[in-house]
Structure 1
Amino acid sequence: MQKIAILYQAKLPPIKNGIQKPMKPGGYADSGADIACELEKNGINVVTPVNNPTIENDLDWVFPDTKKGIQDALNKGANTFWLNTVLHKNHDIESFYNRNIEFVGQMPSQVDVYDDKFFTNEFLRKHDIPIPETEKISIDNKKNYILTIDFPMVIKPIRGRGSQGVFLVKNRKELDKTLEILFSDKAYGNSVYVEKFLSGQELTITIMPSGSYKVNNQEIKYDKPWSLPAVKRTNHKNGIAPYNGIVAVMKNSSVVADSELQSKSIRKVCYQCEKAGMLLNIKAPIRIDCRADEKGMYYLFDLNMKPNMTGPSRPQRSNQDSLTLLASRKMGWDYIDLLKNMLKQTWRFPN
C-alpha cells in the first residue's frame, strides 16, 4: 500500500557556477498541502508530520526536504515521497535512494542540469527545437558587453522561477539599469541572460512523462512524453505574464479553444514540447512556456522542471488551479484525477 509523504523546500538550493535559484516564500508548502489534502479526501493514505492536521496550516501536511524531515516521514511509515520541492545534485533525498521507496517527481541530477535555462535553451536549439535568440551577461562584463539581439528584449535569471525577476527592456539604458538592480540584489547570482522579445500569443504547455494513464475511464499507454491541451496566457504586464504568487493564473489564463488547438501552429509547438520532454527524459510533468513572433511562429522560451501543482482542495484555496490543472480539466480530469495519474508514474532508483 502506498503511504505518501509530501516534501517541501526548507532552504535555498546551493549556488551553482555562481548562479542562485531563488526560493519561493514557504518553499511550496502551500501546494504540498493542497496535494496532501486532496489525496486524503479521496481515501489515499497520506503521512503527515502531525496526527491531526488542520486544513488552514500548510506545515501540518508536509515534511521539510532535509535528512531529518525525510527520516521523520519514514519513521511514520512513508514509502512514497512526492518531491514537491526544488531539486538539485546532492539533494538530501539522494541519501535515501537505497531504501525501498518510490518517488513522484524528477530525478535531482537531471533537474540540476536542466534548471539552468540558458544551458537548456542551447541544448534544445542544437536539437532543432525553435528557441528565441539568447545571450548571457555576467557581472564581470555588464559594462562592456556587446549584444547582437535587437531591442526590445527580455532579461531573465538563469535559474529562475516563472516570471519572477523577468523584465522587458526597450533600450540599452533600461537594460543597464535592470542589470545594475539584479546584480546588486544578488538574488539570482552573477549572471543573467537576455532573449529576443516575442510579440505574439503566449502559451503554456504541460508535458507528461511516458507511462500508463487513465483517460475517460480507459487505461492508455503513452510510449513517449505527451502534451496536455495548451493554455493561453493573457493580461500581461509590461509584456510579461504576471508572477502567479501575485495574480492567480485563473485570472489571466484559459485553455485554447478547440478550433485553435487543432491549428497547424499549435500542433507543431506541442510536438516540439513533447520532443523536449523526450530529450530530457522526464519522470514527472514539466511546463514549457511558448510564444509566437509577429509571423505567428511559436518558440519555446522557458522550460520549468517543477511546475506548480496548486489546487482547490481547501476552502481558502478555491481559486488556486495551476496552469497544469487548467489543462487537465480540458482532458476531463479534476484535481484528484491529475494527482492520481501522477502517482501512477512513480519510479525507484536506479531507473
Structure 2
Amino acid sequence: MQKIAILYQAKLPPIKDGVQKPMKPGGYSDSGADIACALHKHGIQIVTPVDEPNIETYLDWVFPDTKEGIEKALEKGANTFWLNTVLYKEHEITHFFDRDVRFVGQLPEEVDMYDDKYFTNEFLRNNNIAIPRTQLISSENFTDYSLEMDFPLVVKPLRGRGSQGVSLVKNPTELNIQLNAIFSGEAYGTVVYVEEFLNGQEITVTVMPAGTYTINDQEIRYKKPWCLPAVKRFNHKDGIAPYNGTVAVMQNSSVLDEDELNSKEVEKAYAQCEKAGELLKIKAPIRIDCRADIKGNYFLFDLNMKPNMTGPSRPNRQNQDSLTLLAARKIGWDYIDLLRNMLKQAWKTHS
C-alpha cells in the first residue's frame, strides 16, 4: 500500500555558474498541503510531520526536502515521495534512491540540466522545435553588447521561476535600466537572456509523461508524452502574464474554445510540446508556455519542469486551480483525479 510523503523546498538551491534560482516564499508548502489534504480526504494514505495536522497549517502536511525531513518521513512509514520541490543535481533525495521507495516528480539531474532556460531552448531548437530568437547577456558584457534582434524584447533570468523577474523592454534605454536593476541585485545571478517578443496569443500546455491513465472510467495507455488541452492566458501586464503568486491563474486563464483547440496551429503546438517531453524524458507533468507570431504560428518560449499543483482542497483555497488543473478539468478530471493519475506514474530508481 502506498504511504505518501509530500516534500517542500526548505532552502535555496545552490548557485550554478553564477546563477541563482529564486525561491518561492514557503517553498511550495502551500501546494504541498493542497495535495496532501486532497489525498487524505479521498482515503489515500499519507504521512505527515505531526499526528493531527491542522487543515489550515501548511507545514503540518509536508516534510522539508532535507536529509532530516526525508528520514523523518521514512521513519513514519513513507514509501512514496511526492517531490513537490525544486530539484537539482545532488539534491538530498538522491541519497535515498537506493531505498525501496517510489517517487512522483522528475529526476533531479534532468531538472538541473533543463532548468537553465537558455540551454533548454537551444537544445529544443537544435531538435527542430520552434523557439523564439534569444541572446545571452552577462554582467561582464552588459555595457558592451551588440543586439542581434529588434525591439521589443523580453528580459528573463536564466534560472527563473514563472514570470518572476521577467520584463518587456521597448528600446535600448529600457533594456539598460532593466539590466542594471538585475545585475545590481543578487536575486537572479550574473547572466540573463533576452528573447524576441511575440505579440500573438499565449497558451500554456501541460505535457503528461508516458504511462497508463484513467480517463472517463477507462484505462488508456500512452506510449509517449501527451498533452492536456491548451489554456490561454489573458490580462497580461506590460505584455507579460502576471506571476501567479500575485494574481490567481483562474483570473487570467481559461481553456481554449473548441474551434481553437481543434485548429491546426494548436495541434502543431501539441506535437512540438510532446516532442519536447520525449526529448527531456519526463517522468511527471511539465508545463510549456507558447506564444504565437503575427501569422498565428506558436513558438515554445518557456519550459517549466515543475508546474504548480495548487488545488481547492482546503478552506480559502477555492480559487487556487493551477494551470494544469484548469486543463485537466477539460478532460473530466477534478483535482483528486489529476493527483491520482500523477500517482499512477510513480517510479523507482531500481527494480
Which category of TM-score, normalised to the shorter sequence, fits these structures? over 0.9
Report 1:1-351 matches (<5 A).
Answer: 1-350=1-350
Letter in 2 for 1:165: G
Letter in 1 for 2:191: S
**1:267-320 deviation per Cα after TM superposition (whole angstroms, max 9, x unaligned):** 000110000000000000000000001111100000000000000001210100
**1:159-202 deviation per Cα after TM superposition (whole angstroms, max 9, x unaligned):** 11110000000000000000000111110101000000000000
Q: For 1:350 and 1:307, how far apart are their aligned partners in 2?
A: 26
Letter in 1 for 2:54: T
Q: Is 2:70–2:93's contact at 8 Å kept on the other side of the alignment?
A: yes
Letter in 2 for 1:181: A
Could you say what the CA RMSD is over the residues aligned between the two structures, in angstroms?
Answer: 0.6
Letter in 2 for 1:194: V
Residue 141 of structure 1 aligns to a residue in which SS?
coil
Q: CA deviation at 1:129?
A: 0.2
**1:135-162 deviation per Cα after TM superposition (whole angstroms, max 9, x unaligned):** 0000000100111110000000011111
Q: Is 2:233–2:252's contact at 8 Å kept on the other side of the alignment?
A: yes
**1:102-148 deviation per Cα after TM superposition (whole angstroms, max 9, x unaligned):** 00000001000000000000000000000000000000001001111
| Structure 1 segments of 4+ aligned residues over 6 angstroms from their partners | none
| Long gaps (5+) in structure 1 | none
Q: For 2:258 and 2:39, how far apart are their aligned partners in 1?
A: 31
Residue 276 of structure 1 aligns to a residue in which SS?
helix
Q: For 1:185 and 1:31, how far apart are their aligned partners in 2?
A: 28
Q: CA deviation at 1:340?
A: 0.2
**1:5-38 deviation per Cα after TM superposition (whole angstroms, max 9, x unaligned):** 0000000000111111000000000000000000
Q: CA deviation at 1:350?
A: 4.1
Q: For 1:147 and 1:123, how far apart are their aligned partners in 2?
A: 21
Q: Is 2:98–2:350's contact at 8 Å kept on the other side of the alignment?
A: no
Q: For 1:182 and 1:56, how far apart are their aligned partners in 2?
A: 36
Letter in 1 for 2:101: I
Letter in 2 for 1:316: N
**1:73-124 deviation per Cα after TM superposition (whole angstroms, max 9, x unaligned):** 0000000000000000000001101110000000001000000000000000
